[in-house]
Amino acid sequence: MNRADKSGFAAEAQAKINSKYSEDQAKECLEWINAVTGESVDTNGSQDNFWEVLKDGKLLCQVINTLKPGQIKKIQTMKVAFKCMENINAFVEGAKVCGVSSQETFQTVDLWERQNLNSVTICIQALGRKGAQFGKPTIGPKESTQNIREFTDEQLKAGENIIGLQMGTNKGASQAGINMGNTRHM
């Protein structure tokens, strides 16, 4: 990765992106990956370690194949840039198949070029919330479930007679103290 250091506005923007990164969240993600895959990797949450552990995408592909066996047909083992990026892209696509929304995924360069490691942790946490669906450990808050409510026609009609507070009220209002047409006495 031979890229010039950013300067000016680009450096400020990158610094802002990097400031959102949480070592605690990264540590939690790496611990979850260890629990799911059974692999033993360094769970230090520093940006350097997080990137070093995940940059080739092999471990991420193992996570997807552990959750959904056979989802990623071929995990690239070569350390060549485009092969590693294929692994990362396969992980992102596999995460979408597992139910992670596209808003919670990341672009391949976010991990490969260390552009936005925070978005990588967000994606792994979103995938971690889905772990229970696959009989695996979870991280983060419990996934919400649908709560459908059924009302009878009688209940719906009873609600039409109630005036909600959003519509306003005139209780307590009076015209006391209003003198229309009176001249002001000095």
In DSSP notation, 2-16 reads --PPP-THHHHHHHH
The contacts of residue 49 (CB under 8 Å, 6+ apart) are 42
Contact by Cβ (8 Å): 62, 75: yes
Q: What would the pLDDT profile of 100-141 be if each residue is shown by its tens digit? A: 999 999 999 999 988 899 999 999 999 999 888 888 888 877
Give the whole-angstrom CA distance, residue 32 versus residue 102: 21
Domain boundaries, the chain: 9-134
Residue 116 is encoded by which pair of tokens?
Answer: 């936005």
Element (H, E) at 104: none
CATH of domain 9-134: 1.10.418.10
For residue 177, what pLDDT band results from cuts at 50, 70 and 90? low
Give the whole-angstrom CA distance, residue 123 versus residue 118: 9
pTM attached to this predicted model = 0.74
Give the whole-angstrom CA distance, residue 89 versus residue 82: 10
State the amino acid at position 183 in one-letter form. Answer: T
Average pLDDT in the chain = 86
For residue 12, what pLDDT band results from cuts at 50, 70 and 90? confident
